[in-house]
Every structure is written in C-alpha cells, then in structure tokens.
Chains A and B, each alone.
Chain A
Amino acid sequence: GAVVSQHPSRVICKSGTSVKIECRSLDFQATTMFWYRQFPKQSLMLMATSNEGSKATYEQGVEKDKFLINHASLTLSTLTVTSAHPEDSSFYICSAGVKSGVFGSGTRLTVV
C-alpha cells in the first residue's frame, strides 16, 4: 500500500537554529500534503496544506514565516522550523492526500 516516509524521527536543536523535516510519498505522487502538529495528550492540529508547485496554505494562527513549507516535487514536501524556540517543541506529522489517509511516522522536535 501507499507509504509516507518522514525524516528525521527525532531531532534536538539549540534555540535560534532552524530545523528541516522531510515528508516523502513512496510509490505514489502527492500533489497535496498536510502538516500537523500534536501537543502532548492532545489531538492533531492542522498547520498547513502543502501544494506542489505553489504556495502552501496556512491555517489561522500559524506563522508562515516561522514554519516554511516547500513542495517542490510530487513526492517531497519539507517543513522548516526557523529560529526555533522551546515552545516549538512538539510532535510534527505529515500526511499525503486527503482521502488516502496515509501518514508519516512523525518527528519529535525538542528545542533546548
């Protein structure tokens, strides 16, 4: 079946640095990918919709200059957390397509 690969699974970075998270669709093309954030003991919150070849669509309250999304090909979307701060520490998950329901394995970001 369809698989979405997300990398890295864990990352620790210093405050003020930037971190890039990759989301790849394997064996299929995804014109649309989604980025979610999950706080401890909470549900998934949609951050943005990544559209291949065009600008991402951000949900209300999500800073687009802080969470940079690039979807340069039909199989790869990246989320870059710029100038990360401890409050950005969270679990980030991507998915490909809407009705396919395929998710990556998630990235645990810890900013120290």
Chain B
Amino acid sequence: AQSVAQPEDQVNVAEGNPLTVKCTYSVSGNPYLFWYVQYPNRGLQFLLKYITGDNLVKGSYGFEAEFNKSQTSFHLKKPSALVSDSALYFCAVVFGNEKLTFGTGTRLTIIP
C-alpha cells in the first residue's frame, strides 16, 4: 500500500535562511508526488507536483522539490525563507488509480 511520511511535526527557520521540509514515500512503481500549503482555516493550495521527467521540480512562491528515487524522498525546499511562508505543509502521493494519500503535515515557522 502507498504511504507518505513527514518526519517533522514542526520546523523553525530564521528569515532569509534556506528551508527544507522533509517527505518520504512508500509505493511500488512510479508515484505522483505533491506538495500543498495550508493557511489557517483555508483549503489546500497547490505548490508543485512531480509526475515524470526532471527530478527537480519548481513550483509556486519560489518553492522547489527534488524527487530522489533511490531514497524515496521528495523534500520541499526554498533558498531564502520569508515570514509569509509560515504555514502548514502537506506532502501527498498517488500511484496509478489509487487515492491521494497525505502525510501528517509539517508546521513551518519562519522567525523574523
């Protein structure tokens, strides 16, 4: 069965520093991988997705993620964090016709 893990519940980063939010997955075959951001009392906003092709995916708001098949990871990154990046981030995976499976979420706090 497919699964996705976000090992960190909380990540704190100083403004201007690079940030990484970790995600690992477990599926057989080739997955579709997603990152979403959620602000308080709001729905999910799509950041980026990996389907195939270049392992480095660039998304909204300066975020990017690297698909690493050997490590089964899809970490979210940004070179320079902004205070406005503070939010809840979800990694998700889908394979074939299976449903979208979400990680437990990582709360990112950017410290001014």
Inter-chain CA distance A108–B43, complex, in Å, is: 10
> Cβ of B43 and Cβ of A6 under 8 Å apart?
yes
Question: What are the residues of chain B within 8 A of A104 when measuring CB–CB?
Answer: 43
Q: Is B34 an interface residue (CB 8 A)?
A: yes
By beta carbon, the residue of chain B nearest A57 is B99
Apart from A44-B44, A103-B43, A106-B44, what are 20 other A-B pairs with CB-CB below 8 Å? A43-B102, A43-B103, A44-B102, A46-B99, A46-B100, A91-B41, A93-B43, A93-B44, A95-B100, A98-B97, A98-B98, A99-B94, A101-B49, A101-B100, A102-B46, A104-B43, A105-B43, A106-B42, A106-B43, A108-B41
Complex partner residue of B90 from A6, A34, A43, A105, CB under 8 angstroms? A43
Main secondary structure of the interface of A (DSSP, over half): strand
Chain B interface bracket (under 10, 10 to 19, 20 to 34, 35 or more): 20 to 34
A34-B97 Cα distance, complex, nearest whole Å? 13
* A44 CA / B41 CA spacing, docked (Å): 13
Q: Which residues of A approach B to under 8 Å, CB–CB?
A: 6, 34, 42-44, 46, 49, 91, 93, 95, 98-99, 101-106, 108
What separation, in Å, do the CA atoms of A6 and B34 have in the docked complex?
21
A99→B43 contact, CB < 8 A: no
Option from A49, A95, A102, A105 in Cβ contact (under 8 Å) with B42: A105
| A103 x B103 contact (CB < 8 A) | no
Determine if A98 and B42 form an interchain contact, defined as CB atoms under 8 angstroms apart: no
Bound CA–CA A95/B45 (angstroms): 11
